[in-house]
Structure 1
Amino acid sequence: MRINPTEFQFRHLSYRIRSAKEADAKDLSEVRLQIDGETENMDREQGEAYIDEAGFKQLIKEDTASSFNLFLVCEANGRIVGFSRCQGSQLKRFSHKVEFGVCVLKDFWGYGIGSNLLKESIKWADANKVKKITLNVLETNEKAIMLYKKYGFEKEGVLKKDKFLSDGNYYNTVLMGRVKES
């Protein structure tokens, strides 16, 4: 599915959020690889579950054709600096919900990019009769948890000792969801 592009200005940075297009595939592959190496908030270590240009082209093609999925990118300074996806299911019992994921290059944290990717995804979900958005977040990512709560997400559960990080410790994953009230 696609959305109309939206322009944002935060402090001295102008950026645009728009639907991903197949021409973004190479950049997305590089950005994802970089982000995975910048933070342990992601599920992967750098290079794990690598998606190459062809893989992203296929993903974007499928997401664009699907009414259950939304793939957004954020462009700033002429390049992609972050992206988000909402992935739904064609199974009837799960067709009312999507799972949200987001990532932003560390140099672009603090400019509202993650918030605006989330807001655009919520706007799309609400307009397309998606009743529930779910997500997973590392328990130590307090800024993200506060952001999600601000936009109506509630803690639905905890996966204990779910992730093993570089400090040698296990951490919990917080399961959150936002249900649109009719």
Structure 2
Amino acid sequence: MIINKQEFYVNGINYTVRSAIEKDAKDLSNLRLQIDGETENLDREKGEGFLDREGFEQLIKTDTQKSRNLFLVAVVHDRIVGFSRCEGIYLNRFSHKVEFGVCVLKEFWGYGIGKNLLNESISWADSIGIKKITLNVLETNDKAIELYKRFGFEIEGILKNDKILADGKYYNTIMMGRFNE
């Protein structure tokens, strides 16, 4: 699905949130690799589950064509600095929901980019009749958890000892959902 681009000005920077297009694929491949190395909040370590340009081209093509998928990018001065995806499930019993994921370069944390990617995704989902958005978040990512709660997400479950991080300790994954009646 494609949305209209939105402009934002936060803490002194201008950025755009828009639908991903195929020419973004190479930059998205490099971006995801960099972000995976900057934080342990995501599922992958740097280089794991690597998606090359062709992989991102296919994702963008699929997400553009499918009515319950949305791939957004955040752009600062022609540079993609973050992205989010909503992926629908195309089985009838799950057709009311999408799964949301987001990542932003660390140097651009604090500019509301993740918040605005989430807000645009929620607006899109509500506008097309999606009833539920789900996501997973690492238990130590307090800022993200609070953000999700402000947008109406509730904790629906905990996957105990779900991830092992660089410190050798196990951490829980929190499953959250937002239901729009």
Please classify the TM superposition score into its range, dividing by the shorter chain length: over 0.9
Any idea what SS the aligned residue of 1:14 has? strand
- 1:54-84: CA deviation from partner (whole Å, max 9, x where unpaired): 0000000000000010000000022000000
- Structure 2: how far apart are the matches of 1:135 and 1:14? 27
What letter corresponds to residue 90 of structure 2 in structure 1?
Q
- 1:149-175: CA deviation from partner (whole Å, max 9, x where unpaired): 000000000000000000000000000
Cross-structure match for 1:4: 4
> Displacement of 1:16 after TM fit?
0.1
Establish whether residue 37 from structure 1 lines up as the match of residue 32 from structure 2.
no
User: Which runs of structure 2 are paired with 1:166-177 in the superposition (5 Å)?
Assistant: 166-177=166-177
Cross-structure match for 1:76: 76
Aligned residues: 181
User: Which stretches of structure 1, 4 residues or longer, exceed 2 Å deviation after superposition?
Assistant: none
Cross-structure match for 2:19: 19
Cross-structure match for 1:131: 131
Cross-structure match for 1:117: 117
- Structure 1: how far apart are the matches of 2:173 and 2:144? 12
Name structure 2 gaps, 5 residues minimum.
none
> Displacement of 1:90 after TM fit?
1.1
Establish whether residue 154 from structure 1 lines up as the match of residue 129 from structure 2.
no
Identity over the aligned pairs, expressed in percent?
68
Q: TM-score, normalised by structure 1?
A: 0.99
What letter corresponds to residue 43 of structure 1 in structure 2?
D
Q: What's the C-alpha RMSD, in Å, of the aligned pairs?
A: 0.4
- Structure 1: how far apart are the matches of 2:47 and 2:128? 34
- Structure 2: how far apart are the matches of 1:89 and 1:133? 11
Name structure 1 gaps, 5 residues minimum.
none
Cross-structure match for 1:95: 95
Any idea what SS the aligned residue of 2:124 has? helix
Cross-structure match for 1:164: 164
- Structure 1: how far apart are the matches of 2:38 and 2:74? 18
- Structure 2: how far apart are the matches of 1:56 and 1:67? 18
- Structure 2: how far apart are the matches of 1:65 and 1:88? 12
- Structure 2: how far apart are the matches of 1:144 and 1:30? 23
- Structure 2: how far apart are the matches of 1:59 and 1:78? 21
- Structure 2: how far apart are the matches of 1:95 and 1:149? 23
> Displacement of 1:128 after TM fit?
0.6
- 1:111-149: CA deviation from partner (whole Å, max 9, x where unpaired): 000000000000000001000000000000000000000
